Amino acid sequence: MELSPQKQRTRRAVLDAAAGEWARDPAASLGRIAAAAGVGRATVHRYFPDREHLRSALTSDSWAALHAAIVEAAPGSGPVSEVIDRIVSAMVHVGDRVLFLFASAGDDPSPADAEVAGAVDEILVAEIRRGQRGGELDSTVPAEWIQRMVWSIVYTGLHATGDGLVARHGVDDLIRWTLRGAIGARPG
């Protein structure tokens, strides 16, 4: 059944609120999520019968949002350092989704979510390998190591914004600066 535009907006508001609340506190109640979405708890239950349905929908929605943001960063076009900068900005833009996915990392993903997560990783690893071949990135370490560094540094930056250590609008630059030092090509 197709949702009306208003119901789509309400559903989106609940998902966005759940991402924000669960990114900061995985134990946040549905009542807190409802309040953050500006709706009543009954409205949350109208769209998601229980916590697990909401978590499942949010996981799928978060992977889809992250994938779309990374694809929009135009991987494969331009110097790898610029592409990775755009990917980092894309990850920060959907930061609550990234933090939620990290907090949910122990959950078993659905096959569809695992496929999207794999596609996200493939895009990043392909860019890293392209950068290693072109001499932009350190080729003495496995591409998957650099990929994990990217995820870790993005997570650290996003978490630091939640802790008030850095401002959300400035975290992109801090993450990029840190990554350049960590994964850039080493002088021969």
The structural domains of the chain, with segments of one domain joined by +, span 1-49, 51-183
The dotted CATH code for 1-49 is: 1.10.10
Interatomic CA distance for residues 2 and 8, integer angstroms: 9
DSSP states of 41-76 = HHHHHHH-SSHHHHHHHHHHHHHHHHHHHHHHT-TT
Structure tokens at 29: 């109640």
Q: What is the pLDDT of residues 128-151, one digit of tens each?
A: 999 999 999 989 999 999 999 999
Question: pTM to 2 decimals?
Answer: 0.90
Q: Which CATH superfamily is domain 51-183 in?
A: Tetracycline Repressor, domain 2 (1.10.357.10)
Where the chain has pLDDT below 50, the residues are none
